[in-house]
Amino acid sequence: MPLKFHPEPGTILVCDFTGLREPEMTKTRPVVVISPRLKRRNDLLAIVPLSTTPPRAVTSYQCELTLDPPLPRPFDSPSM
């Protein structure tokens, strides 16, 4: 379902990726908005998916988020 508003950067949303084909992500998961509202592009925003699964190898561009309060179930892990 499309959004009826443009969320601010830092807003956490739930995004449904189930319509995509593997090897792309094909499940529902929380995402964080990282882009501001762009002039003449109100229908576009950049997001970063969040995961509760730790990475196999930590890299410099990854970061851990601690959410207080945690997100609702099933995304209720305190760290992402």
Q: Dump pLDDT digits (tens) for 18-77.
A: 888 888 778 889 999 999 988 888 788 899 999 888 888 989 988 888 888 888 888 888
Answer for the pair 27, 17: CB distance below 8 angstroms, yes or no.
yes
Report pTM: 0.80
Do 73 and 46 touch, CB atoms closer than 8 A? Answer: no
Q: Are the beta carbons of 48 and 32 closer than 8 angstroms?
A: yes
Longest dimension (CA), the chain: 40
